[in-house]
Amino acid sequence: MCAPAHYGVEYVINPWMAGNVHRVTQANAARQWEGLRNRLEELVDVELVEPAPGLPDMVFTANAGLVIEKKAVVSRFLYRERRNERAHFKKWFERAGYEITDLAGDAPFEGEGDALLDRERGLLWVGYGMRTDLDVHPALAEALDVRVVSLRLADERFYHLDTCLCPLERGYLVYYPRAFDADSIIQIEQLAPAEKRIAIGDDDAAAFACNMVNIGEHIVLNSATAELKERLAQAGFNVIETPLDEFMKAGGAAKCLVLQLANHAPANGGAATSVREGLVTLEGHLLHAGLLEKAVDVAVENGGTFQVLSFDLGRQQSSLSRAEMRVVAPSEMRLNGIVSQLLSLGAKRVAGEEKDAALSPAPMEGVAPDDFYASTIYPTEVCVAGKWLTVRNQRMDGVLVVEAGAKPVVRCSLFRNLRKGDLVVTGSEGLRTRRKTRKPASNGEHEFSFMGAGVSSERRVDLVVERIAWEMRRWREQRGKIVVVGGPVVIHTGGGQHLASLIRNGYVQALLGGNAIAVHDIEQALLGTSLGVDLVRGAPVAHGHRHHLAAINTIRRCGGIRQAVEQGVLTRGVFFECVKAGVPFALAGSIRDDGPLPDTEMNLIQAQDDYTRLVRGADMILMLGSMLHSIGVGNMTPSGVRLACIDINPAVVTKLADRGSLESVGVVTDVGLFLSLLSQRLGS
Ligand code: NAD
């Protein structure tokens, strides 16, 4: 322990300190610290370290380092404010005859504040994400010959592991679940059986109840609720409360004020950690396009950490930058997840690391191996027998299957199409994606972007419509393929006639929708209403609610939409034009469909396959007021296809247009208005 002679809140490096600068009452602090020391001295010997002026946090000796047997790992503090404590603690360890171990590198490690020995389980729980870096976990395992279990702290109020977890005698574990991320909770639950876990609530957490010192059957802490005391008593512990609120002003209590010196090495020693690392390079307009920032976010948001090993900054606006990054993750699985996401940002595994992709056989029909690589919309290459092969049928949320042989092939497959034994790409090695980078040109326009990509609001509709019209004209000239995805709102808003004229004039090569768009288009063609509303007068008509059912009934009698056209029953509208122009359409069924029309495919697997077939080879896709079908289409469309999403709901537009690719644009507007402007622009 270290007497609070120079203790105070002099700066703010955790949320508890905020509002408490210069608000410590020295006399109270001294009395409370003596109180804790007296309680402990009744149970154990207490050694003291000399307090140093100008280091107000030195009183929190748990952060001095970590001791196991006679080995001491001295802390490296994250914050400049505490860094000078190190020399004092180091000197104390040396004088006391400890063997000092320095961890490789320079990443922060804050001692027992973040590393707690669990003798019963023979492991060291180590926190990261706030003060101690994940990068030191393997070094710690190595230095102390112990198994390290990494836990990620997710709430900045619980910035050290000892504020939210405490391993106790006989395998009990007190912890505050809300302080951890989901993966860490799973780890805790896997390693500590339910009867040994004591999860505390908000009140105890706020009173620093986890920050306890456990000596044999005694537990010394600031305070605990009656409920927690009862639970600890049931587990055979004697709870001793001693007030420490003056220290809570700086974010610490009983455990923070104490460093345990009698730590015995676990019997089942042996260094072990699940932490893994990988090297990647990123090249492109890293700063301008925000790629580096995105890469760093990917690593941190997914529970990892990173180190930028080198960074060559492109000096001019047009020149490329290059960065080499070392990514560290708490497990192989997390590393693969992070690297896969970095690959889709265009990162590459560092040359020396490039090797064949790992392959595992599908264990059964329709099931992939557990660590499968999930495909993205970006063109992907896989290294097979030293050669980079381009993936066929690229789409999102599939797996990559390698067909071995003299000329190996890699294709994207859905789970349901996997056969037992199919070789599926796993992990993240031997993979790379090609991604167009946003190249800033001198006029501020982006060379590759489709209308500047992103989401446009009402004010720019006219301009965006003009650009979309220009694109459509271009594809029609080049005999390209334009696919339209539409919902019933196309008809309700009066856009049906405009869509029909686009089809008639050769601007649409395939139409995708559900039962509703066809039902309401046909209702309008046969009865002049859409969902019973007369679109010319904008008013409901008598008995109009049965109109759409009557339309369905008529088509069912004819045998289908094409038959209705051939029989002269259906003579106008969107689907009439499709049949006339030979434009294929696919209608996917849903739970709310009335009828359905004979053309509506109620077998959804078949419907997905029909959509996939019609989307293949598309140059441009217009998504018009149908969230369900547009999202479905977005997932099966590789990057590179120009995509325009029109919806009245900004959230839907953002979701669909924000694919991280440069070819999608979203327009928040009424789809009827949009279609009317578009057909005007196209003169159709
Ligand atoms: P959806 O919720 O997936 O999409 C509707 C979208 O239209 C929403 O994103 C909404 O924001 C947008 N929208 C609403 N008004 C708009 C406007 N004026 N301009 C632009 N966008 C506008 O629903 P959905 O695609 O209409 O239907 C989902 C499923 O239900 C489909 O399979 C459909 O066929 C079926 N359905 C069947 C029937 C029927 O059989 N009678 C009726 C309705 C829907």
Count Cβ atoms below 10 Å from residue 444 Cβ, excluding itself. Answer: 7
C-alpha of residue 669 to centroid of ligand 1, in Å:
15
Query: Atom 12, ligand 1: which residue's CA is nearest?
Result: 625
Ligand 1 atom closest to Cα of residue 513 = 34
Element (H, E) at 307: strand 305-312
- HEC string of 183-252? HHHHHHHHHCCHHHEEECCHHHHHCCCCCCEEECCEEEECCCCHHHHHHHHHCCCEEEECCCHHHHCCCC
Whether 602 is in the pocket of ligand 1, judged by its Cβ within 6 Å, is no
* DSSP sequence for 152-195: EB--TTS-SGGGTEEE-GGG-EEE-GGGB-HHHHHHHHHHS-GG
pLDDT tens by residue, 559-604: 999 999 999 999 999 999 999 999 999 999 999 999 999 999 999 9
Ligand 1 atom closest to Cα of residue 588 = 32
Whether 636 is in the pocket of ligand 1, judged by its Cβ within 6 Å, is no
Query: Atom 23, ligand 1: which residue's CA is nearest?
Result: 626
Report the distance separating Cα 160 and Cα 112, nearest Å.
Answer: 9
Between 536 and 581, residue with greater pLDDT: 581
C-alpha of residue 631 to centroid of ligand 1, in Å:
12
Element (H, E) at 360: strand 358-361
Q: What's the pLDDT at 375?
A: 94
Whether 515 is in the pocket of ligand 1, judged by its Cβ within 6 Å, is yes
Report the distance separating Cα 462 and Cα 454, nearest Å.
Answer: 16
Q: In a 3-state reduction of DSSP, which class is residue 99?
A: strand
Specify the range with the lowest mean pLDDT, choosing from 164-178, 219-233, 652-666: 652-666
Q: Is residue 353 very low, low, confident or very high in pLDDT (cuts 50, 70, 90)?
A: low
The dihedrals phi and psi of 488, each to the nearest 5 degrees, come to -60, -20
C-alpha of residue 489 to centroid of ligand 1, in Å:
6
Q: What's the pLDDT at 458?
A: 56
Report the distance separating Cα 61 and Cα 256, nearest Å.
Answer: 6
Q: What's the pLDDT at 443?
A: 40
Of 591, 444, 440, 587, which Cα lies nearest the Cα of 510? 587
Element (H, E) at 475: helix 461-477
C-alpha of residue 525 to centroid of ligand 1, in Å:
19
Ligand 1 atom closest to Cα of residue 652 = 9
The CA-atom distances, in angstroms, between 97 and each of 79, 141, 310 are 28, 22, 40
> Is 498 among the catalytic positions?
no
Of 679, 624, 676, 678, which Cα lies nearest the Cα of 646? 624
Ligand 1 atom closest to Cα of residue 596 = 40
Whether 514 is in the pocket of ligand 1, judged by its Cβ within 6 Å, is yes
Q: What's the pLDDT at 215?
A: 97
Report the distance separating Cα 63 and Cα 165, nearest Å.
Answer: 15
Of 551, 547, 529, which Cα lies nearest the Cα of 538? 529
Q: In a 3-state reduction of DSSP, which class is residue 508?
A: coil
Element (H, E) at 465: helix 461-477
Contacts of 473 (CB under 8 A, 6+ apart): 682
Of 133, 134, 141, 129, which Cα lies nearest the Cα of 181? 129
Specify the range with the lowest mean pLDDT, choosing from 27-31, 285-289, 401-405, 575-579: 285-289
Whether 648 is in the pocket of ligand 1, judged by its Cβ within 6 Å, is yes
Catalytic residue among 164, 166, 210, 256: 256
From 592, 601, 670, 671, give the residue whose CB has the most ligand 1 atoms within 8 Å, as the site to mutate.
592
Q: What's the pLDDT at 537?
A: 82
Rg (CA), the chain: 33
* DSSP sequence for 105-121: SS--B-GGGTEEEETTT
Between 459 and 242, residue with greater pLDDT: 242
C-alpha of residue 470 to centroid of ligand 1, in Å:
27
pLDDT tens by residue, 398-448: 999 999 888 999 999 999 999 999 999 999 889 988 876 554 444 433 333
Whether 133 is in the pocket of ligand 1, judged by its Cβ within 6 Å, is no
Whether 532 is in the pocket of ligand 1, judged by its Cβ within 6 Å, is no
How is the chain split among helix, strand and coil, in percent rounded to 5?
A: 35, 25, 40
Of 370, 352, 353, which Cα lies nearest the Cα of 361? 370
Strands 664-668 and 642-647: parallel
Q: What's the pLDDT at 536?
A: 80
H runs (alpha helix) in 528-670: 547-558, 561-566, 574-581, 604-615, 627-636, 650-657
Query: Atom 11, ligand 1: which residue's CA is nearest?
Result: 649
From 499, 519, 648, give the residue whose CB has the most ligand 1 atoms within 8 Å, as the site to mutate.
648
Report the distance separating Cα 483 and Cα 508, nearest Å.
Answer: 6
C-alpha of residue 110 to centroid of ligand 1, in Å:
55
Place of tokens 């006679």: 70
Report the distance separating Cα 351 and Cα 533, nearest Å.
Answer: 64
Does residue 58 carry a pLDDT above 60?
yes
Average pLDDT over residues 263-269: 85
Element (H, E) at 340: helix 332-344
Q: In a 3-state reduction of DSSP, which class is residue 79?
A: coil
C-alpha of residue 264 to centroid of ligand 1, in Å:
66
Whether 670 is in the pocket of ligand 1, judged by its Cβ within 6 Å, is yes
| Tokens of residue 504, six digits | 């008639």
Q: What's the pLDDT at 27?
A: 96
| Tokens of residue 313, six digits | 């900054």
Ligand 1 atom closest to Cα of residue 595 = 40
Does residue 163 carry a pLDDT above 90?
yes
Catalytic residue among 160, 446, 498, 548: 160
> In this structure, are residues 482 and 469 in contact, taking their beta carbons and an 8 Å threshold?
no
Report the distance separating Cα 266 and Cα 270, nearest Å.
Answer: 9
Average pLDDT over residues 259-275: 91
Q: What's the pLDDT at 352?
A: 55
pLDDT tens by residue, 292-303: 889 999 999 999
Task: Taking the CA atoms of 421, 424, 429 and 434 in sequence, report the sign of the dihedral they define.
Answer: positive
Amino acid (1-letter code) at residue 5: A
Q: What's the pLDDT at 456?
A: 62
| Tokens of residue 644, six digits | 């325009």
C-alpha of residue 670 to centroid of ligand 1, in Å:
13
Helix axes 650-657, 627-636, angle to 10 degrees: 10
Whether 649 is in the pocket of ligand 1, judged by its Cβ within 6 Å, is yes
Q: Is residue 642 very low, low, confident or very high in pLDDT (cuts 50, 70, 90)?
A: very high
Amino acid (1-letter code) at residue 354: E
Q: What percent of the chain has pLDDT over 70?
A: 95
pTM of the model: 0.81
Whether 626 is in the pocket of ligand 1, judged by its Cβ within 6 Å, is yes
Amino acid (1-letter code) at residue 587: L
Report the distance separating Cα 353 and Cα 440, nearest Å.
Answer: 31
Whether 594 is in the pocket of ligand 1, judged by its Cβ within 6 Å, is yes
From 556, 626, 673, give the residue whose CB has the most ligand 1 atoms within 8 Å, as the site to mutate.
626
Beta bridge partners of 100: 72
C-alpha of residue 487 to centroid of ligand 1, in Å:
5
Ligand 1 atom closest to Cα of residue 649 = 11
C-alpha of residue 684 to centroid of ligand 1, in Å:
25
> Is 22 among the catalytic positions?
no
Report the distance separating Cα 180 and Cα 538, nearest Å.
Answer: 56
From 522, 531, 552, 628, give the residue whose CB has the most ligand 1 atoms within 8 Å, as the site to mutate.
628
pLDDT tens by residue, 596-628: 999 999 999 999 999 999 999 999 999 999 999
Whether 61 is in the pocket of ligand 1, judged by its Cβ within 6 Å, is no
User: Residue 20: left (phi > 0), alpha (psi -120 to 50), or beta?
Assistant: alpha
Whether 489 is in the pocket of ligand 1, judged by its Cβ within 6 Å, is yes
C-alpha of residue 474 to centroid of ligand 1, in Å:
30
Whether 625 is in the pocket of ligand 1, judged by its Cβ within 6 Å, is yes
Q: What is the mean pLDDT of the chain?
A: 92
Of 161, 166, 223, which Cα lies nearest the Cα of 199? 166
